[in-house]
């Protein structure tokens, strides 16, 4: 129960990584807001958490990059959590894997609206209250492609690079007031780690040898949200099977 008594807001929490983080936080004692666009899936996640004895509520939101949407989510989450958000996880994301010349302006804007603008304005809505309370933890979800170039999805990679830069800037801005800001950089993960999943080949040649599961990211998030990581600020934790750190040469 490492997060007992704490309140958490997790965006994009109706599937994959976000769902795993929300479930893990609740299992560790946190009251969790499951935020996402799909009410049916959100209610299912909340139901699973409550059945397991945890506390959770769903908030439907389309994080379209607007300040209004971010403010509305922060306000409703704060209300449901009894007036306080202790942990914010910026997980909601838009993925695009097209080559540069094939990326249209609408897609580019969507990627930046969801991956950069929404976390920015949600941070603006949540972090000042954390600072006033002299405590809080923010976890941003980056990506290994922000630091290891691949020949597709340049806009997506750049957006995740921007979020990792914001992690460091926000740490400098809010850290002195007791708000720890860190990031997790996942590799390719699926709930079903079958080798034929899309993108699985990108984990070939890693020390791990294949794709991971969302639980691996959730375990890292619990660590960064808890007291064990009290001395960690402005860090990006690679949870990618070794993709960005080592290359395995086939014998």
Which residues are catalytic, by number? 156
Tell whether the torsion through CA atoms of 227, 231, 235 and 236 is positive or negative: negative
Q: Interhelix angle for 154-174 vs 118-132, to 10°? A: 10
Q: How many CA atoms lie within 13 A of 207 on its CB side?
A: 8
Length of the chain: 251
User: What distance in Å separates the CA atoms of residue 63 and residue 92, rounded to the nearest whole number?
Assistant: 8
Cβ-based neighbours of 106, under 8 Å, separated by 6 or more: none
Shortest CA distance to 137 belongs to which of 152, 147, 127, 145? 127
- Strand ranges for the chain from DSSP E: 7-11, 31-36, 55-60, 87-90, 136-141, 179-186, 236-239
User: What distance in Å separates the CA atoms of residue 99 and residue 118, rounded to the nearest whole number?
Assistant: 24
Tell whether the torsion through CA atoms of 172, 174, 180 and 183 is positive or negative: negative
Structure tokens at 10: 């997790």
């Amino acid at each position: 129960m490492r997060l007992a008594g704490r309140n958490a807001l997790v965006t994009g929490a109706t599937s994959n990584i976000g769902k795993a983080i929300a479930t893990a936080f609740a299992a560790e004692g946190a009251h969790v807001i499951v935020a996402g666009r799909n009410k049916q899936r959100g209610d299912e996640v909340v139901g699973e958490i409550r059945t397991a004895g945890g506390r959770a509520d769903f908030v439907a939101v389309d994080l379209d990059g607007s300040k209004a949407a971010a403010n509305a989510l922060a306000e409703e989450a704060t209300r449901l959590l009894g007036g306080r958000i202790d942990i914010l996880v910026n997980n909601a994301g838009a993925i695009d894997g097209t080559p540069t010349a094939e990326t249209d302006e609408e897609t580019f804007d969507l990627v930046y609206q969801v991956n950069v603008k929404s976390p920015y304005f949600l941070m603006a809505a949540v972090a000042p209250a954390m600072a006033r309370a002299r405590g809080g933890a923010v976890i941003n979800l980056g990506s290994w492609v922000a630091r290891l170039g691949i020949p597709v999805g340049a806009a997506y990679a750049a957006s995740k690079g921007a979020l990792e830069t914001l992690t460091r800037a926000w740490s400098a801005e809010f850290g002195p007031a007791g708000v720890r800001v860190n990031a997790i950089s996942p590799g390719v993960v699926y709930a079903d780690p079958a080798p034929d999943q899309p993108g699985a080949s990108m984990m070939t040649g890693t020390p791990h040898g294949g794709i991971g599961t969302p639980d691996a990211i959730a375990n890292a998030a619990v660590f960064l949200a808890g007291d064990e990581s009290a001395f960690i600020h402005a860090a990006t934790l690679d949870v990618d099977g070794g993709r960005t750190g080592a290359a395995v040469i086939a014998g």
